[in-house]
Structure formats: structure tokens, C-alpha cells
Structure 1
Amino acid sequence: MKRRTWILSALGATGALVVGWGVMPARSRMGSPELMLKTEGDVALNGWIKIAKDGAVVLAMPRSEMGQGIHTALAMLVAEELDVPLAKVRLEQAGADSIYGNVAMLVASLPFHPLDSEGEHKPTQIKMAEWVVGKLARELGLNATGGSSTIADLWDPLRMAAATARASLLQAAAGAWKVPASEIGISQGVLKHASGKTAHFGEMASGAAGSTPPNITPKARKDWKLIGQATARTDIPAKVTGQAQFGLDVRLPGMLFAAVKMSPILGGSAASTDTKAALALKGVSKVVPLDAWGGGTAGLAVVGQSTWHARQGAEAVQVQWQAPSSGALETATIQANLLKALNTESGFTFHEQGVPVQAEKAATTRMDALYQAPYLAHATMEPMNCTALFKDGRVELWAPTQVPQMARDMAAKVAGVKTDQVTVHVTLLGGGFGRRLEVDFVGQAVQVAKACEGSPVQLSWSREEDMTHDFYRPMHLAKFQASLDKGEVTSLRIKSAGDAITPRWMARAVPMLSGPIDMPDKTASEGLFDLPYGFASQHMSHVFTKSGVPVGFWRSVGHSHNAFFSESFIDEMAAATQQDPLAFRLNWLKDAPRYAAVLKLAADKAGWGQPLPAGRARGIALHESFGSITAQVAEVSLDKGQIRVHRVVCAIDCGTVVNPDTVAQQVESSVLYGLSAALYGQIDIVGGVVKQSNFSSYPMVTLSQAPQVETHIVPSERAPAGVGEPAVPPLAPAVSNALFALTGKRLRALPLVV
């Protein structure tokens, strides 16, 4: 089957980049021991592993924990290779070196069709592009937690770092005991020899330092004892007891507190401000104007003795706000403009195969459908916050951030200091979902801290400020056209329209990589151009728009709405050809056996085709994202017009699984997050003002509404793929398809309303 898929040309963008630089070997990610934090009595063996004097293992942790369980999973990789109890692996925040950058996330941004790019037999052009982007990513060292990429990115580097540390410790013990290293074993973090000699790691660490045996390889799969085993997360006890430190938990001597009051008009500013009433309040000390940092909205911050004092002061400030010179935004106008663009512009072609025009001319039947999805907020449980201290020309931050390196850069910019004068402490995140890939709130905190020089200031947003000043998931529309001949699908054409996220984010976060010309953004068309179904003729394109609304990465990004579009229309084609939705899909997955296996597993476990109680129906959906294939079956009913989802059965092929408990937890989390969006999620902007401001107008699924969720993992020996996001996309179409089976009514817009 011949395909033509657009390839981001790192070569074309950089001219002769490949010559010389591009063909050099990939930079090692082992790192120097000097990168580890120096602590008395402890010995660093490389840039990831340090041995404590009590024999514990210290792991440099570059990724943020926001509930996805990666602090446990990454520690498991190290514990496995070093044969130490998981409890003896301690975490230490990694520094800013490029070895800690996220390579996998940038490589995954290449818009390749998964059926072309997975496995060992990749076309040369794909291998070349991945090599160049991987090389660029290693040089940049962009440290970010996102894209469901943490385990995929650190799977090899961490295991190799730990395996190297193990070999060095064995060599040190062999030298000390005058025996062959092959005769020494390790159990529970203790080196042992048949002669009876034993030592914990701390006793051999000095001898192991600076000595690296050659030809090191991580453990073989058959020798794993921990990887793949259900393991209790190490971060849970502290969260249960309240000892865990999130951003809002930070307390420092002499701390002040700041509350923000931003222009309610997106992109707006203050025309006039009266602070007299606020400054007259007890406990209020200062009002600080805020610039529009990191693509955010301008406003002001009130500083007080407590968050309560600061917020009382913020309410007392009288401000006359004005819209930006470009005018106030309106979602109704934006939607109309998207529809116009969809109908008048050809867009950028991400994928084409066969001859769609010829198939369309020969077709006896044509199907057309228009799908749409609204803006969405992230609605993290912990609103935006950051604690900053500006003193003696240095900045110290305590921030719940997904991008510590960018937070450091923003702090340096605002404070007017060099980046090496900024220290960032990453706290636990009370939800991220992509919102904390932004650093607007960091810029605000540093601006206030600079105005309060010498005193640490904790800046926090109210729920209302958080909801109305987000970087929203973009509004998107998609037009589908299918050609049928004698009951068979002969072509599928998809054209979507909406804002591109990546160029806007790059301009805010990594200006050095952005430019006057936007490169086509994969996230706009992912989940549409990369379908696994074997329709002979396909054409998928996207019209890129610039609405002016601040947009950002939202959990599962473009897949979150594009899966609803594509899997709902797949169901429409099944109905049009009078086929069972499962059978229809399997018929077009003959060249995609992995996808078919996942789909069959979900259907079997859900009892597809078996009778249901009266008033209930099942819907099915299949989607690939972040390297993982997920299928879901939703069991749905209607209660006085209200949609009720009783059960969701999910099958997932996410490659090698480190901790199956975490996979199940993330699937359950994704189902609830996706269900909240499918049933309720919508952001409306009128006169430049976001109308939804709290959970009363932007509701979440409650405990009583939560469905039973079952997770079934497909055994795999492939490298690990994403887990935190892939179960979000298929939820909305599975529910929508069940509603069609129940009512005969096809819903083509989110949120779902019967």
C-alpha cells in the first residue's frame, strides 16, 4: 500500500546541518559524576546515580511528578538493575544539564504515520529524520515532562546508568576482595561472595568511582524481578499523611503572599487603577503591576500577610480594564471563521494515498459530515502558583512546573540576572495536563518577588483567575467525506481547521526555535492523518488558523478531539454499510494486526454482542496515540435525558510495562478526565471574557457519576510507550457511538447533548 506522508524536514530547515554535525554519533546521556549534587559522604558514579554512605542509591530525577507515578516507575528501573529494594532508592532533583533533556518527546513530534514508523523496518527517510531530531534534542537538552514520554525517553539511559554503576561496584569489590567479579553477586543492595565476604554499596562506592568496565548491557528481560510487577507507588504515603509538598504547601521564614487580579478581557490591560482602598486594608502591604509574561494577560498582584489578606486586597482594587488593540475575542465569531476557512482553504496535506479524486468520481454514494469541538480548560485541582525569592542578585524558585529549565529562563529574564543565578526547586504538581508547560505564573511571581526584594513571596491564583486565564485546548472543526461503491468504502477525505498549538508555545517558551514562518504542526492533525484503517484512497489535510485565543497543550492534545471526530465517523460508515461497528473496523485492520488485537481484546472483555439490560447500549472506539494503541467499549444509558456511563472496558498495548498498577491508574484517570470533557467541557468567550469561571459552570464527573473502569494490558516486548494520555481520546467516541446505538441519533459536537 503506497502512502505519502509529510515529513518535517530537519534537513531542509537547516541546510547542510547533516553534513558534519548530523552524522556525528549521538551524544551520550550517561553524564559526568560532577553533575550530581555534592553531599558529604556520598559518591557519584555518573550523571544519574550516586551512592549514599549508608548504601542507598540516589537517583537524579529530571521529571515532574503530577500524579502519573513516574517517580516510582523510574526508581523501579534503577532498583531492578542494581538489585536494591525500591525503598532504598532516593530521589534528588536533577540539574540543568542537557543529558536530562527529553529526547523522545521531540522525536515523537515528527508527523509520521505509525504504520510506517513503528518497528525495526522503517524507511530510510524516517530513520534519518528521527536521527537528526534526536541529535538536535540531545544538544538542546529541553527538560520537559509531557507527551506521555517519560518512560519512553529514560528507558535506555536510566537502565544503562544503573547497569554501569552496578558493574563499577562489582569491579571495586573484586579488587578489594581479590576475587573475580563474576563470583560476586548482589542481593537487596548487598555485595556477596561465596567466601562469606559482604559489603553494602556505600562501602565500595569510593573504589567504584571513576572506574567503568567495558561492554556493559542492562539485564535481560528473563532476569527481571521488579519491572512488570505491580508495585505500590512511593509517593502515596506522604500524600496520605499530608507530608508531601505541593506548590501551595511551600512555607519559608518571612514569607509574604500575593494574589493576582488579571484583566478579565483576554489580552487586555488596565486603563486606570485605584489602589487606595486595597492598601488601607489591614495585612495588605503592596500592589504590584504585572506584565503579560509568557503569553499571559496583564494585571496586578496584591501582597499581604496571608493569601486571605492578599485576596481581600485584590477584590478592593478598582480597575478600569481595556481590550487589546486587536479587539475582543468571541467564540461565535471564531467558530464562523473556522467554518469559512474549512470551506474555502485547501489546507496543508499531512497524508495522502491512492487516488481519492478518482475514487470519488466512481463512487455510487457519498457521505458528508461536519464535526466540532470547543475550547477546553485544564482545570487542574491545584491552581497556578509559584514561590519566589529575589535576594543579592539571585533568584530562588519553588514551582510546580513541567518545565524547570524554562521556569529558570523566565525567572532570569524577569529578574534581569543570568540563568546560573537562578535555582529552581520543583515541587509536586497538583495536576498538570499540559497547563504547567507554561511559565506565565513564574514570570508573575518573580516580578512580585523583585518588588519585595529580600522576602520570599508565594503568588497564587484563585480558581476563577485560573479558569479564565488558561492556555486552552483549541476549538477545532473537521469535515469528512467518504465515497462508497457497492457498499464498500473506496475513499476517505478529512479536512480539519483550527489553531496550531506548537508554534504558539514555541514562541512563548523557546523563542530561539520559533520563527516568522510556522512549520506545520502535527498536533493539529494527529488522530486524523494517522488512522490505521486500510482504505485504498485517503487524503487528510488541515487549515491552520490564528484566532488570538491563548492555546496550549491539553491532555492528549489533538488526539483528544480528533479521535472523537474520526472514530465517530468510522461508526457512521459502519452504519451506512449496514455492518456491525466491531466487524467493520476489523475488516479494515487486516494490515494492522496490533490494532486488531487490541480491539478484539476490549470487545471480548466487554461482552460485545451479548445482551444488555433494557435501556443500555455499547459503543466502541479504537485509537493510537503516544505510541500506545487503546480500544474502549462504553456501556451507556439515558436517565431523563441525562447521559449515564456505567462501564468502560479498556484494552491497551503500551509496549513493555514497568508498573501495571500505574497503567490501570492512568487509564482510570484518563477515562474520568475524558468523560468530564465529553459530557460537560466547554469554554465560551464573549466580549473577550471567558464565561466559565469555576466548577459550577465547568463541572467535572463526580464520584457518583464515575463508571466502573476495567483495564486489560496487552503483553508486549516492545519498548515502553505512553500511558498518561492514550486512554483519553477513545472515551468520547465510545460514549457517542453507544448513544447512537441507543437512540439512533448521531452526535457530531462536543460536549455531548442528547
Structure 2
Amino acid sequence: MKRRGVLLSAAAAGALVVGWGLMPARSRLGSAALLQGGGGVALNGWIRIEPDGSVVLAMPRSEMGQGVHTALPMLAAEELDLPLSRMRIAQAGADAIYGNVETLQASLWFHPAHEEDPDGFRRAQVKAARWVVGKIGRELGLNVTGGSSSVADAWPVVRLAAATARASLLGAASLRWKLPVEELVVADGRITHPSGRTAGFGELAQEAAATPPGEVRLKARKDWKLIGQPAPRLDLPAKVDGSAVFGLDVRLPGMKYAAVRLCPMIGGFPGAVQADRALALPGAERLVMLPAEGGSTAGFAVVGRSTWHARRAVQAVQVDWQQRPGGGLDSQAIQAALESAVRGDRGFTFHAEGDVDGAEREAARVVEAWYAAPYLAHATMEPMNCTARVAGGKVELWVPTQVPGLCRDIAARVAGVPVDDVTVHVTLLGGGFGRRLEVDYAAYAVRVAMDCGGAPVQLAFSREEDMQHDFYRPLHVARLRAAVDREGRVTSLRITSAGDDITPRWMARGVPALSAGVDTPDKTSPEGLFDQPYAFGHQRMRHVSTRSGVPVGFWRSVGHSHNAFMIEGFMDELATAVRQDPLDFRRAMLRGSPRHVAVLELAAAKAGWGTPLPAGRARGIALHESFGSVVAQVVEASLEGGRPRVHRVVCAADVGTVVNPNIVAQQMEGAVVFALGAALYGKIDIRDGQVQQANFPAYPMVRMADAPTVETWLVPSNRPPAGVGEPGVPPLAPALAQAIFQLTGKRLRSLPFNLA
């Protein structure tokens, strides 16, 4: 009977799941109560009308230079027919309507070909999976700024919220004047009638809040006046005049300052600690021990009257650091282990098509190459920091974060208070690149604030602590093999890669209740390899998931950042093997991918591919799709003093509908410089558990004098907006590697480039 009861319960649970799946998705417009305040009138959870007629948009995403605090207001202003200068933003609350649904849907690892499946079966599978994950995302409300998803996620909901508010305002004017809605016109934040009657949004707000919107229609593309135009950034004036508030700019009455010192060995911990001399220094107040939090390393902090006092004292503490029980980690040994795993040719198969083994048996020759990419740090210009106050059973944070909800959760866990008693204020971010998807620094700040008697405490990492206690881009290796037949045609592609998975580790750190210690195939490891667009007749892509013990995290463009280097570098090797021009070879292999061909040809045309260059210069080309966008880059480079010098990068991109072309160009320019630094210099070495690089002298960045000219050309598109902040990173390294090959005849198969 007990067994039958279990079966019945399982069946009932299954029925509930099916029933839930068939229900309509939860609305993301939300209640107006979520945005009330400041004297304005909210019309839904996203739009509030101020008395002066300006409009406040609830802002759930963090601004870290990518322009989201301009792009999202542009969507709302378009639907409201309001000048962008009259849009304001207010930090969104913790309600589920502000969760990022797109980033969860993007985690699905279907092959792109499934979405274009002609028989419709696999396309239906993709659609169904996105529907289910979208519904889950609406329920979870996970607020994440990452995955180049902010505009894509906001595209439907912010426009709908603004259009709904517009309909209510029109309805209110219609009722007030007893005139048909069809005769009313909205322009510049006012509603007018040919009879001369007119009213601003502020005058109609109260009535609009009580007026059902009726039929809501989004503006047709042909009627857009703002979307697609190069509007000025709303955050620029404050950043120019110095009034912008980043995490380290927070100042509160009675604030104290804390400096951290964590165990220099990954996974290690402090043994005996002697702090008497340190705390006797002027301005030093107390030492607070820090257990490992949020996946980071144990250590301690010293609180002082200023950051200088705290840092001086924390360095004076005498401590006997202890190695982790498993012994010190070593990046060279980890790479050797990954290479051994790849040789085993096992792992999870993310994509398979045709008969790779048969194609290799029948081949005239097989081309094989090994590629490798090192650990990388995020090295944001603003090191990790958080200001916390714990008083009266309440916790308040001022923090530059990409995950305010997760900061709220870990603060509640550390302080032992209900999550509703935690308030998070998101400041501007001095760089994110994925590092601020972590919550370790917020947890440390709360831990210190608990020991400070209700005073606010600003905890900040030094540059050295920041770089040596990061969540690094994983070390990654791959073996690529292709069969070439007797006619010189490439017939197959086999890829086996190995490296640590990011998503399961991140979930365990930030969302432990959902991770439950379960590892599932992680798209971020093989992305860009298993889903490459080239038409190989036979394909097989496997990935071996490993757990090295090194803390790994999301790094700008994630797996694409190194996998594009590997697949595009190998494409160049194949072009050479079959004696074809790299552009012609790619174009021929993009059968059935007109979107990719259009981007590739635009980049080549604008760069003058095939035309003569000055002596000592060469070009390289690469193409990659990531985060829904297709980007091609042509790099023009030379060698100066035996080192590569990039003079010009021509970037062509199809990012779907362009909201603000200026911001797209800025992001492509920033991505090129970011990727160039990684290609030329970026590497984190670990010996005996200790990260060897501690500051920019050992982990260089591209300086202004070495930055290339970057041109950005956009392919017109009617698709919804796709990613912008990250897709400009992946093509740079392989394009540069090809240019260097043209100059030297040397193939570069590992990052960073070494011409010695």
C-alpha cells in the first residue's frame, strides 16, 4: 500500500506539473504598488508618472558601462512618445517581475540548427523548452545583469509596460474630455486633441491609474522615432561632473572602513593570528575573522578610521597561513590533467551529426591541432567592495553588484535575519565582466558590520587581494580533428574539450537551494564549439567536465572567449590545408547560414580584404556567433620589436534590432580592447595554491597608446535585440592570430600569444 501511495503521489505531482505547464505564463507587468512613492503615480510595476510629467522606469539591471541605464529608458520613451531627457530611473525592488527570464532561457544548449529544423520537430522541442524555462524564470525572479541579456529580456516587458501606461493615459483623457480615443494624439509627453484640448502626463496620472488600459498595441517599427537612433547616454553627465556614485564613492555618517586579507593559498585558511601590533597602530580599531563565504577563501579584516588606516594595519597582522587539506593547486598540473582527459575522448556529447569515424577512415588525410587557454582574472578597475550596516535586526547594503537578489540572500544568511529585513542599494559598477555576479565581498562586508555596533562599514579589496582571490575564467584545452577527402574537401569535424564547468559552481555558491549539488551538462563550457555554424557533413563535439578546485566564474563572453579562438583558429588551419583564402573557405562552409555570410562579407568589404597593405602589415579575419549576435572582425596588424601591434579592427555585427547604435559601437570598441589585452598578456598562473599575478605590472592591460582604431558596421535586422556587451570579444584573438601567421608563418594555438 505504501508503494502504491508513493506512485499515486508521483502521478499527482506529475499532473500538477503538467497542469502548471499548460497555464498561461505569469504577467510581468506587476502591481502599481511595487513602484509607488516619491509623489508620483505608478501605473504598473515598471512605469510611474511624476507630478512634472516626467516618467520613472523601474530599473532592475546594473549599469557597468554597457549603457543599460540608457537603452531601457529608450524602450519606454518610444512607447510613451516622451523625450528621452524626461525619463528617470529608480532601482527596482525584489519582486519576481524584475527577474531576468532571458538569461535562463539562453542557458539551454540546443544546437542552433534545431531552431531552423525543416521538419519542425526539433524546432518545436526548442520552443517548448524555452516556454517551460521562461515560466520557471518568471516564478524565480532571479535578477541578473549578465549574459548580454538585459535589452533582450526587457524588449517585450518594458515596451508592453510603457504601451499599457500610454493606453491608460489616453483612456483617462478620453473620459475627462468625453472624446474618442482615436482622435487623441500623444507627443512629447502630452495628450492633445484637434479642438485644442491638451494635458500633460502628470495632470492625467491619477485618473489614468483608475482607468483600464483597454486594447494595448505596441508601436509599429515604421513609427519608431527613438529606437535605432544614436541618443546620448543618460548616465554620462554624472560621470563627467563627478556626481556619479560607484561603490567606493558611498559615504555615510559615522562610516568605518575595512580592509581584507585572505589566505594566499586557494582553499587555505589562517592558523595562528597575532594582531596586537597591528591594532596598536593609529586609526586601527578591530580585527574580524572571516570564514570562507560565497565560495571564496577564509581570512580576516581590520576595521579602521579610513581605508589607509585599515590597509596599513591589516598588512601588519602576523598570521600562519595553512594550505588546504588536499595540497596546493598548480595550473600546469591542471592543464596536464585536462590534456589527459581529452586524449581519453570521452565526456558529454553536446552535438553529433553523421558518421565522424567513417569520414576519418575514408579521408585522404586528417588535420589535427591542440588549443589551450589559461585562467584569467576579471581585473575590474574598481576592486570588489561593499558598504554594510547591521543594526536593529536589519541589514542594509550599498553594493556594486550584478546580482542584487543574491546579495540580499547571502546577507540574510550571514546576519541570521529574514530576507525581507535586508535592503540592497545598487550603485554604479566600475566594471563587472562577470566578477560581480559573485557575492563573496557582500558576505564579508556583512560579517564585519555585525561586529561594528550598528555603524556602517565600507569593506574594500586591495588590487592584490582582488586579483589573487577572483573567480577565474577556467583553464581550457581542446583537440580538434577534421577529415579532408581526395578532392580536397573538408568532410568532418571532431572536437573534444575539457575544463571546469562554471554554472554548477556558481549556482552552488549563489543559489544553493536550487543547485542541490547536482551537476548537469553546462553549456558555458563548450559554447562556441558545439554550436559553430559551419556546414561540416559529419560532426561530433564532446566536453569533459572537470573540478580542479580553482574557483571559476563567468568572464566576459564566457566559453566563447576562448572557444572562438580555438574553432576559428582551426578554420584558418583548414583553409591553409585545402589551399583556400580564409574568407572564401568560410563563405563556402557557411552553406545555409545567410545571416553569417552577410556579416562576414560586410566586415571583409569594409576592411578592404584582398587589397594591398603597406609592407610589414597583414590581415586576419574571424567570425563568431554568441549571445544571439553574429560578429566578424578583420584585424590589421604588424610586428614591432618582435611583438604584435594591432593598427585597425573592422567589426561587422548583426545584433538584431539596434536600440542605440552609439552604444553598440562603444561596446564593440571596449570589447576589442578587452579581448586584445587577453590575447597579448592575460594569464593567471597558480603554484603551490598561490596566484602568481597580483597587480597590473604582472597582469598588463592594453594602454591607450597601443589601442587600435575600431570601426563598427551594423547589419540591418528585424530580429529582436540580441547581445551587445560580450559578442565583440570572441573574434579578436583568432583574427589576430591569423594576421600573425601571415607575417611569421607561425601558428598560435595557445593564449596569450608567445612569438618566442
- The one-letter code matched in structure 2 to 1:334 is I
The alignment-based identity, stated in percent, is 63
Deviations 1:472-521 (A, max 9, x none): 00000000111100211011100000000000000001112213331010
Number of the residue aligned with 2:167: 167
Output the TM-score relative to the length of structure 1: 0.97
Number of the residue aligned with 1:448: 448
Number of the residue aligned with 2:27: 28
- Residues of 2 paired with 1:341 and 1:668: CA distance? 37
Residue 213 of structure 1: how far off its partner (Å): 2.5
Deviations 1:30-82 (A, max 9, x none): 10101114233x11100000111111101100000000001100000111111
- Residues of 2 paired with 1:311 and 1:15: CA distance? 57
Range with bigger deviation, 196-205 or 712-721: 196-205
- Residues of 1 paired with 2:70 and 2:113: CA distance? 32
Aligned residue for 2:542, secondary structure, equals: strand
Number of the residue aligned with 2:351: 351
Q: Does 1:721 align with 2:722?
A: yes
Deviations 1:437-480 (A, max 9, x none): 00000000000000002100000000000000000000000001
Contact 2:46 2:161 in 1 (8 A): yes
Number of the residue aligned with 1:112: 110
Contact 2:623 2:632 in 1 (8 A): yes
- Residues of 1 paired with 2:368 and 2:196: CA distance? 77
- The one-letter code matched in structure 2 to 1:389 is R
- Residues of 2 paired with 1:119 and 1:96: CA distance? 39
Residue 195 of structure 1: how far off its partner (Å): 1.7
Contact 2:167 2:214 in 1 (8 A): no
- Residues of 1 paired with 2:673 and 2:729: CA distance? 8
- Residues of 2 paired with 1:682 and 1:724: CA distance? 22
- Residues of 1 paired with 2:482 and 2:333: CA distance? 29
Residue 87 of structure 1: how far off its partner (Å): 1.2
- Residues of 2 paired with 1:242 and 1:466: CA distance? 25
Q: Does 1:530 align with 2:531?
A: yes
Number of the residue aligned with 1:46: 44
Number of the residue aligned with 2:370: 370
- Residues of 2 paired with 1:609 and 1:728: CA distance? 24
- Residues of 2 paired with 1:197 and 1:127: CA distance? 48
Residue 588 of structure 1: how far off its partner (Å): 0.8
- Residues of 1 paired with 2:753 and 2:158: CA distance? 43
Number of the residue aligned with 2:737: 736
Residue 375 of structure 1: how far off its partner (Å): 0.1
Contact 2:480 2:496 in 1 (8 A): yes
Number of the residue aligned with 2:753: 752
Number of the residue aligned with 2:74: 76
Residue 639 of structure 1: how far off its partner (Å): 1.0
Counterpart mapping for 1:431-580 below 5 A: 431-486=431-486, 487-580=488-581
Counterpart mapping for 1:422-437 below 5 A: 422-437=422-437
Number of the residue aligned with 2:6: none
Range with bigger deviation, 15-24 or 558-567: 15-24
- Residues of 1 paired with 2:455 and 2:526: CA distance? 47
Residue 17 of structure 1: how far off its partner (Å): 6.8
Contact 1:625 1:726 in 2 (8 A): yes
Aligned residue for 2:525, secondary structure, equals: helix
Number of the residue aligned with 1:709: 710
350 and 62 in structure 1: CA distance in 2 versus 1, 3 angstrom threshold: same
Aligned residue for 2:524, secondary structure, equals: helix
Residue 217 of structure 1: how far off its partner (Å): 1.6
Aligned residue for 1:599, secondary structure, equals: helix
16 and 126 in structure 1: CA distance in 2 versus 1, 3 angstrom threshold: farther
Residue 18 of structure 1: how far off its partner (Å): 4.5
37 and 464 in structure 1: CA distance in 2 versus 1, 3 angstrom threshold: farther
- Residues of 1 paired with 2:339 and 2:181: CA distance? 69
Contact 1:482 1:489 in 2 (8 A): yes
Counterpart mapping for 1:195-274 below 5 A: 195-274=195-274
Contact 1:172 1:207 in 2 (8 A): yes
Counterpart mapping for 1:182-193 below 5 A: 182-193=182-193
RMSD (Å) for aligned C-alpha atoms: 1.4
- Residues of 2 paired with 1:34 and 1:291: CA distance? 39
Range with bigger deviation, 22-31 or 563-572: 22-31
- The one-letter code matched in structure 2 to 1:38 is G
Residue 155 of structure 1: how far off its partner (Å): 0.2
- Residues of 2 paired with 1:239 and 1:261: CA distance? 31
Contact 1:115 1:592 in 2 (8 A): no
- The one-letter code matched in structure 1 to 2:306 is S
- The one-letter code matched in structure 1 to 2:314 is A
46 and 21 in structure 1: CA distance in 2 versus 1, 3 angstrom threshold: same
- The one-letter code matched in structure 1 to 2:170 is L
Contact 1:561 1:729 in 2 (8 A): yes
Deviations 1:388-418 (A, max 9, x none): 0001000010000000000000110011000
> 5+ residue gaps in structure 2?
1-9
Contact 2:290 2:298 in 1 (8 A): yes
- Residues of 2 paired with 1:514 and 1:369: CA distance? 36
Deviations 1:715-748 (A, max 9, x none): 0010000000001000000000111111111010
- Residues of 2 paired with 1:623 and 1:359: CA distance? 26
Contact 1:389 1:453 in 2 (8 A): no
- The one-letter code matched in structure 1 to 2:738 is N
Aligned residue for 2:340, secondary structure, equals: helix
Q: Does 1:318 align with 2:355?
A: no
Number of the residue aligned with 1:4: none
Counterpart mapping for 1:690-701 below 5 A: 690-701=691-702
Deviations 1:65-103 (A, max 9, x none): 000001100000111111111111110000000000000
Deviations 1:576-623 (A, max 9, x none): 000000000000112111001100000000000000011111000000
Deviations 1:518-577 (A, max 9, x none): 101000000000011101000000000000000000000000000000000000000000
- Residues of 1 paired with 2:308 and 2:199: CA distance? 55
Contact 2:508 2:517 in 1 (8 A): no
Deviations 1:682-705 (A, max 9, x none): 000011100000000000000010
Number of the residue aligned with 1:594: 595
Residue 118 of structure 1: how far off its partner (Å): 6.2
240 and 17 in structure 1: CA distance in 2 versus 1, 3 angstrom threshold: farther
> 5+ residue gaps in structure 1?
1-10
Contact 1:388 1:395 in 2 (8 A): yes
407 and 37 in structure 1: CA distance in 2 versus 1, 3 angstrom threshold: farther
- Residues of 2 paired with 1:115 and 1:18: CA distance? 29
Output the TM-score relative to the length of structure 2: 0.97
Aligned residue for 2:251, secondary structure, equals: coil
412 and 319 in structure 1: CA distance in 2 versus 1, 3 angstrom threshold: same
- The one-letter code matched in structure 2 to 1:569 is F
Number of the residue aligned with 1:6: none
Aligned residue for 1:735, secondary structure, equals: helix
- Residues of 1 paired with 2:34 and 2:211: CA distance? 17
- The one-letter code matched in structure 2 to 1:440 is D
Contact 2:329 2:550 in 1 (8 A): yes
Contact 2:273 2:320 in 1 (8 A): yes
Contact 1:164 1:212 in 2 (8 A): no
